[in-house]
Amino acid sequence: MAVRIDCVMLAAGMSSRMKKWKMALPCKDATVIECSVRNALNVCSRVILVAGHRAGELEQLFQGWKRVELILNPRYREDMFTSVKIGAAHVKTKRFFLALGDMPMVEPTVYRALLKYTYAEAVIPKYRGKKGHPLLLAQGVAKYITEFKEKGSLRDVLALFPTLTVPLETDHILCDIDNQEDYKMWVKKEN
């Protein structure tokens, strides 16, 4: 059951390392981005999908999905932080998840596990010492992100807030699809 919490999901990139647009690659009975969004919607009340490259295709794909709001990032070619900023500006809940559209293996159980730590300003899952996604962030972090004027990154913003890292027993929080090898490994795991 979905709780009242937004999820900002980043899907604006050009998939340059992949050599083809990874968001549309087959994933179970859908595409990579559809699987990622479905997993988030199992827990979240709304997904704010930040689009850039091939935004028109994402708009068509999610047409009719009532709990998905597509936001265009016209500056997506600059860096990922521009997408984070635009997504954070649309957050309406006290807390929100920040997720990556190329991580279809992140199950709803991961989102639910992080919701146990809503007292922290920033919650980052980790597996065997490595930090992953999604992040659970407070509204105050979203506000700071949108007002951040300096050239920087999300890491720079998070350094200003108390951050809790939560160990989880799944390497799925580390598994994004960056290249053909990542995708082949993911397909192999799923079959």
What's the pLDDT score for residue 149?
A: 79
Residues 6 or more apart whose CB falls under 8 angstroms from that of 91 comprise 6, 8, 48, 139, 142
What are the domain boundaries of the chain? 3-190
Architecture of domain 3-190: Alpha-Beta Complex (3.90)
Residue tagged 């600059």 (tokens): 78
Token pair of 111 as six digits: 């989102």
Closest CA to 178 of 82, 70, 77, 101: 101
Q: 3-class SS at 96?
A: strand
In 10 A of CB 4, how many CB atoms? 11
Residues 6 or more apart whose CB falls under 8 angstroms from that of 130 comprise 174
Residue 98 bridge partners (DSSP): 8, 135
pLDDT in tens, 49-70: 999 999 999 999 999 999 999 9
Give, as one character, the DSSP assignment of residue 94. Answer: S
What's the pLDDT score for residue 28?
A: 87
Asked whether 190 and 114 are in contact (CB, 8 A), the reply is no
What's the pLDDT score for residue 1?
A: 58
* Tens-level pLDDT at each residue, the chain (191 residues): 578 999 999 999 988 777 788 999 999 899 999 999 999 999 999 999 999 999 999 999 999 999 999 999 999 999 999 999 999 999 999 999 999 999 999 999 999 999 999 999 999 999 999 999 999 999 999 999 999 877 789 999 999 999 999 999 999 999 988 878 888 777 777 75
In 10 A of CB 109, how many CB atoms? 14
Give the phi and the psi of residue 127 in degrees, each rounded to 5: -130, 120
